[in-house]
Amino acid sequence: MPQIIKFWKPFNVLTQFTDKDGRPTLSDYISIPNVYAAGRLDMDSEGLLLLTDSPRLKTRLTDPHYEHPRTYWVQVEHIPDESALQKLRGGLELNDGLTRLAQTELLPRAPDLPERSVPIRFRKNVPDCWIQLTLTEGRNRQVRRMTAAIGHPTLRLVRWAIGPITLAGLQPGEWRPLTRDEENALWKSALRK
């Protein structure tokens, strides 16, 4: 049976196990041999990473062909109106092409998250809010580029879910193996296409 763990990658940690420059990496938190991240998060992003020793699962979760959903909570500057949210939903033209449709909603309140190790830039006269985006592709810095394209720069980015697996029950820097039920749900989700 493949190993699959879920991990809350903290802010300012690289999504790799080594770094020649000595920056924080996954090896500062995880010491299980032969597991690798199924996908990436930028150093300045936080949230859910799945790590596995299954090349098949890794491919099913990360290859855009399989359209596996990933859900992000994004704190942005200003309050997007319905027109801006519709642009996110309908696909945006970025410098590397048109994005796929994205499920997008304005969250009624900030999600209950721990404070980030480095606080976000706060400006008293600039309101902010949280949106939830679910994408089925994973381009480089895509969420940040999408929110910037609609005039609402990202302040904080947290990946909440990959398919049916969420951060629930973890704190930044914590990990645990998936339960049998979580594994079954993840495989079902990953093999649906």
Note the pLDDT tens digit of each residue in 30-61. Answer: 999 999 999 999 999 999 999 999 999 999 99
pLDDT per position as a tens digit, 55-110? 999 999 998 888 899 999 999 999 999 999 999 999 888 998 888 999 999 999 99
Does pTM surpass 0.75? Answer: yes
Phi (first) and psi of residue 170, to 5 degrees = -115, 160
What is the DSSP secondary structure assignment for residue 166, as one 8-state letter? Answer: E
Domains assigned to the chain: 1-65+164-193 (3.30.70.580), 69-162 (3.30.70.1560)
Exactly one of 19, 28, 42, 44 is catalytic; name it: 42
HEC sequence for 14-51? CCCCCCCCCCCCHHHCCCCCCCEECCCCCCCCEEEEEE
Phi (first) and psi of residue 93, to 5 degrees = -85, 110
- Kindly indicate the confidence band of residue 125, based on its pLDDT and cuts at 50, 70 and 90: confident
Based on the residue annotation, tell me whether 53 is a catalytic residue of this protein: no
CA 18 from chain centre, in angstroms, equals 21
Buried b (16+ CB within 10 A) or exposed e, 45-58: bbbbbbbbebeebb
Pairing between β-strand 46-52 and β-strand 154-162 as defined by DSSP bridges: parallel
pLDDT per position as a tens digit, 173-187? 999 999 999 999 999
**How many angstroms separate the most distant Cα atoms in the chain?**
53
Distance CA 66, CA 56 (A): 12
